[in-house]
Chain A
Amino acid sequence: SQQGEEDPQALSIQEGENATMNCSYKTSINNLQWYRQNSGRGLVHLILIRSNEREKHSGRLRVTLDTSKKSSSLLITASRAADTASYFCATDAGDSSYKLIFGSGTRLLVRP
């Protein structure tokens, strides 16, 4: 089952611009995570936001969560060519299990 759906599927921006990716999910959650994947490599955890949080920052990353709309956004400010990667949101199943459900990802290309 696909819990998280990212939008857009692909995004191309110029270096220095901001990049915004969105994630929508279907059921109630305890937390939502964002991961980054460089081509064909393992995913790297970026940030986690809990269901009782609305916004969280980490360096150039800003994540928002709207549980009423069942959606989250990831903003990367002042993008760099090295930010080129795929970005995935992942949600828990809403219970206390370790089950994680990933979206299909947004491919970000930052042009130098």
Chain B
Amino acid sequence: EAQVTQNPRYLITVTGKKLTVTCSQNMNHEYMSWYRQDPGLGLRQIYYSMNVEVTDKGDVPEGYKVSRKEKRNFPLILESPSPNQTSLYFCASSPRLPPEQFFGPGTRLTVL
């Protein structure tokens, strides 16, 4: 089944404890992206990647890192999480421009 998977789906952590949210797609898509969703703010793009080893900042990249070493994986790294990063995170992938995106199920992160 063609899909985007994210792990974990739910995570509660404490301030400053490094964490990684994984994202994987099995559709051989070139483009992948991370978003966060907060009430009243819609989705905001954190980082995106056009292909392996090619990444760029979205609207809210501060406090996040990404890497794209393989086409199928695009992990989101929070080196030192803070409470304002408590949010619902979505990974998405797309085969081409324009990016009609396939979304993962989401990761609900709480930073205490």
Chain A interface (Cβ within 8 Å of chain B)? 1-2, 4, 30-31, 33, 40-45, 48, 50, 88, 90, 92, 96-105
Contacts and interface: CB of A to CB of B under 8 A. Distances in A.
Contacts of A2: 42
Nearest to B99: A98
Question: Which are the 4 A-B pairs with shortest beta-carbon distances?
Answer: A42-B103, A104-B42, A102-B43, A31-B98
Nearest to A32: B98
Interface in B31-49: 31, 33, 35, 40-45, 48
B110 to A, nearest CB: 14
Contacts, number: 67
A49 B9 CA distance: 32
25 contacts: A1-B59, A2-B42, A30-B98, A33-B98, A33-B100, A42-B90, A42-B103, A42-B105, A42-B106, A43-B90, A43-B103, A45-B101, A88-B42, A96-B97, A98-B50, A98-B99, A99-B45, A99-B58, A100-B33, A102-B35, A102-B42, A102-B43, A103-B42, A104-B40, A105-B42
Interface in B59-112: 59, 88, 90, 92, 94, 97-106, 108
Contacts of B4: 42
